[in-house]
Amino acid sequence: MAKSLKIAVLFSGRGSNLENLIRHFHKKRFDDNLTEIVPITNRPDAGGIKLALRYGLESIVIDHKKFDTREDFDAALVKKIKTISPDLVVMAGFMRILTPVFTSQIKAINLHPSLLPLFKGANAIEESFESGMKVGGVSVHYVTSELDSGEIIDQVCVKIEPGDTLQSFTEKIHRAEYSLLPKTVAELLGLRFNF
Ligand code: GRF
C-alpha cells in the first residue's frame, strides 16, 4: 500500500507558490508514496484560499487578528499542525514573524526571494534589483525565530540583465521559485522526481 506523505503549506497572500506546490504534489504518486497538500493561512482574505479551492482543497484559516499576542497565535498554529502531523511544513509567502513557541516545536522551511543572507525581510526583490549586483536569486532555508536567518538548504541565482525592469526581474524570481521550491520539497522528503 502507498505511504501517504502530508505537506503543510503556510501562506498569507496570493498563493502562487501554494498553487505550484499543489500542482506538483497534491494527490501525486512518487514510487510508493502518495503526497498530499494541506493549505494553512493566517488571513481569511488570502488569495490562495480561492486558488486552492480550484483543486478541491479547503484551507485551514487561523486568523492572527483573533489572538492577543504572537505567542498565543503561534501556540494555536502549533496545535493545529500537530493534529495534522505533516511530514514537512513549508512556508511560502507566510508573512508572520514566528516566536520560539513555534520554532522550538515545529521544523519548517521557508522560501525567500533573495540570495540570503543578503536582503532579508519583506522588500527583498526590490532591494536586490536596486543593489547594483548583477545577480539576485531565491533561497530555501530552515525557519528560526530570527527573520530569514536559518540554515540555507538550497539557492539559485537569477541574472539581472541590462534590459531588466523591476517587473521583469520579479517575474524571473517567481519562475525560479516555482522550480526551486518543489525540487527542495521533493529532496527533503526523499522523493524521486523528474521535474
Ligand atoms: C514569494 O515571492 C516568496 O518568496 C515570498 O513571498 C512571495 C509569495 O508569493 N516569501 P505567493 O503568495 O506564493 O504568490
The single residue listed with the C-alpha cell 525557519 is: 143
- Residue 76 and residue 62 in contact, taking contact as beta carbons nearer than 8 Å: yes
pLDDT at 173: 98
Sign of the C-alpha dihedral computed for residues 137, 116, 65 and 67 taken in this order = positive
Q: What is the pLDDT of residues 18-27, one digit of tens each?
A: 999 999 999 9
pTM: 0.97
**What CATH number is attached to the domain comprising 173?**
3.40.50.170
Q: 122 alpha carbon to ligand 1 midpoint, in Å?
A: 10
Q: What is the pLDDT of residues 72-91, one digit of tens each?
A: 999 999 999 999 999 999 99
- Residue 155 and residue 138 in contact, taking contact as beta carbons nearer than 8 Å: yes
Q: Is 15 in the pocket of ligand 1 (CB under 6 A)?
A: yes
Which grid coordinates are listed for 156? Answer: 539559485
Q: What is the DSSP letter of 114?
A: S
Q: How far apart are CA 22 and CA 149, in angstroms?
A: 26
pLDDT at 2: 83
Q: 107 alpha carbon to ligand 1 midpoint, in Å?
A: 20
Q: Is 24 a catalytic residue?
A: no
Instruction: Give the up-direction half-sphere exposure of residue 138: CA atoms within 13 A in the CB hemisphere.
Output: 23
Q: What is the pLDDT of residues 136-181, one digit of tens each?
A: 999 999 999 999 999 999 999 999 999 999 999 999 999 999 999 9
- Residue 125 and residue 173 in contact, taking contact as beta carbons nearer than 8 Å: yes
Q: What is the DSSP letter of 148?
A: T
Give the residue numbers spanning the domain of 5.
Answer: 1-106
Amino acid of residue 99 = T
pLDDT at 186: 98
Q: Are residues 5 and 57 in the same domain?
A: yes
Q: 68 alpha carbon to ligand 1 midpoint, in Å?
A: 26
pLDDT at 133: 98
Calculate mean pLDDT across residues 104-130: 98
Decide if pLDDT at 1 tops 80. no
- Residue 176 and residue 158 in contact, taking contact as beta carbons nearer than 8 Å: yes
Q: Are residues 13 and 99 in the same domain?
A: yes
Q: Are residues 119 and 161 in the same domain?
A: yes
Residue 195 resides in a domain = no
**Residue at a domain's end among 91, 106, 121:** 106
